[in-house]
Structure 1
Amino acid sequence: MTGRVTADDVAHAVRLAVEALRAVPEPDWAAPAGSLEWDCWETAEHLADDLFSYALQLGPARPPQDTHVPVAWRRERPGGPASVVFVDREAGTDGLLQVIEACGALLTGVVATVPSLVRAHHVWGASDPEGFAAMGVTETLVHAHDITQGLGGGWSPDPSLCAKVLGRLFPDVPLGAEPWPTLLWATGRGDLPGRERRTRWRWYGAP
C-alpha cells in the first residue's frame, strides 16, 4: 500500500519542482522541453495552468459533470499549449515560478477543503479530490522532468510521491520497479526493462 494522495502531497511536489527549477543557472526558457513540442517557458505555463484548472473543476458548489468550467482557453502560437494561465515574460524566472507556486497553492487549498464525495469532470473520467490531487502531482513531476531536460538540469523527485500517484492513477502499470523510472515510462517519457516504450498513455482518475 502506498497511501492516499493528499493536499500535502500537491504542496510537496510543487515545492520540490520549484526548488529544482530555481537551481538551474541562467535558464534558457526558449529551449525545447524534453520530448515535447513546446519550449520550457510554455511547459512551465502549462504546468501552472494544469494546477489552476484542476482547482477550478473542483471549486464550484456544483462541479460540472460533463464539461469544463467555462473559462476561455487560447493558444499564443499554433502548436502551443491551450491555456488560461499566461505569465508576464518581463517577470522572468522568479515571476514564472511564483505563478506555479500560486496555482499549486490553489489546488492544495481546494483539495484540502472539498468533501471527498465530490466528483468533477475530467476528459479521462470524473474524479474526486484525491484523484485531482494525484493528477496535479503527476503533472508537476513529469513536466518538471520535461523542463529540466530542456534546461540541462537534473530532476529526481521524492520516490514516495511517484509511488502514490502510480497506485492511484495507473492501475494498468506493473509495480515493483523503481517508482520514478516507472512513472516516466507510464507517461511515455522513458524505458522500463522488459516493456515496450509507450507512445500512447492515459491515467484513470475514477475513485
Structure 2
Amino acid sequence: MPRTPEPGPPPSPVTADDLDRAVRLAVATLGEASPAAWAGKAGSLEWDCWETVEHLGDDLFAYAAQLAPRTPPLTGEVPFVWESRRPGGPANAIHADREAGPAGLLQVLEASGALLAAVVRTTPPHVRAYHVFGISDPEGFAAMGITETLVHTHDLAQGLALTWTPPADLCARVLTRLFPDAPRTAAPWPTLLWATGRADLPGHPRRTTWRWDGTPRKATAPGGS
C-alpha cells in the first residue's frame, strides 16, 4: 500500500513584523505614483485612489482600536464615528488632510499600520476581539491588516498605473490563516486575489462574494507569548 505522506511542518504564524513589511512595501510602491493620478478610480472599486488609501488606513486603525482595550469587545465594534465625506464614499474614522498631498496621505497610512503592529506585538495571544468575519486573536488581526494592505494596494496599483506583486510568503501565510479552504494549486498571490474576488483562477469560478474566517486556528493557553 502506498504510504500516507508525513505531515509537513506547521505554517509560520503571521506576525507584526509581517504587517510592518506589507505596509512598508505598499507605501514605497504608492510613493512612485504621479501626484495627478490620485483622483482616478482604484481598480474595480467605486472609490478614488485617495479615498482608497484613507479606507486602508482606517482598516488598520480600526483593527488596532478593536484589540487595544483592556477588555476588547466581543459583540460589536469599538464605537468610533465612521462617516463618509461624500455619498458613496468610504465610511471612515480616519481622513487625511488634503493639503498635505500624497506624501501626507501615505504618512497617515504608515502611521495606521504602525499602530496595528504595535498593538499586535503587545497584546497577549489569548486575547480575543470582535470582527464581523469571526471573533479573532492578535495574529488574526495582523493577517487581516496584511490582506487589506496587499489587495487594496493591488486596487490602487491599477488606478495609479503601478506594478505591484507582493512577496509570496506573505500571501501564503495570510491564505493559511484567513482562507484555509482556498485551493493550493496556484501561486499564493493569484490565489489571494481570487479569494478576495479580484481575479480568476484556473478551475475555480471567479468569486462574486467572499469573506475570510478570522477565528483562531488553534487554542492558545492564557498567558502565552
Amino acid at match of 2:210: W
Say whether residues 1:159 and 2:168 are aligned partners.
yes
Q: Which residue of 2 aligns with 1:42?
A: 51
Say whether residues 1:75 and 2:84 are aligned partners.
yes
Q: Measure the CA separation in 2 of the matches of 1:84 and 1:51.
A: 11
Q: Which residue of 2 aligns with 1:92?
A: 101
After superposition, what is the alpha-carbon deviation per residue over 1:102-131, rounded to whole angstroms, capped at 9, x for unaligned?
000000000001000000000111000000
Q: Which residue of 1 aligns with 2:113?
A: 104
Please list every run of 5 or more consecutive structure 1 residues that lacks an aligned counterpart in the other structure: none
5 Å matches for 1:16-31? 16-31=25-40
Amino acid at match of 2:45: L
5 Å matches for 1:182-193? 182-193=191-202
Cα displacement (A) at 1:197: 0.6
SS in 2 for 1:143: helix
User: Do the aligned residues in 1 keep the contact of 2:126 with 2:137 (CA within 8 Å)?
Assistant: yes
Task: List structure 1 runs of 4+ shifted beyond 3 angstroms.
Answer: none
Q: Which residue of 1 aligns with 2:127?
A: 118
Q: Measure the CA separation in 2 of the matches of 1:96 and 1:26.
A: 11
The TM-score, its normalising length taken from structure 1, stands at 0.98
User: RMSD between aligned alpha carbons?
Assistant: 0.8
User: Do the aligned residues in 2 keep the contact of 1:27 with 1:151 (CA within 8 Å)?
Assistant: no
Give the number of equivalent residue pairs: 207
Q: Which residue of 2 aligns with 1:3?
A: 12
Q: Measure the CA separation in 2 of the matches of 1:45 and 1:193.
A: 33
SS in 2 for 1:64: coil
Say whether residues 1:142 and 2:154 are aligned partners.
no
Tell me which structure has the larger Cα radius of gyration: 2
Cα displacement (A) at 1:27: 4.5
After superposition, what is the alpha-carbon deviation per residue over 1:66-120, rounded to whole angstroms, capped at 9, x for unaligned?
0100111101111111100000001011100000000000000000010000000
Q: Measure the CA separation in 2 of the matches of 1:165 and 1:134.
A: 5
The TM-score, its normalising length taken from structure 2, stands at 0.90
Q: Which residue of 1 aligns with 2:184?
A: 175
Amino acid at match of 1:174: P
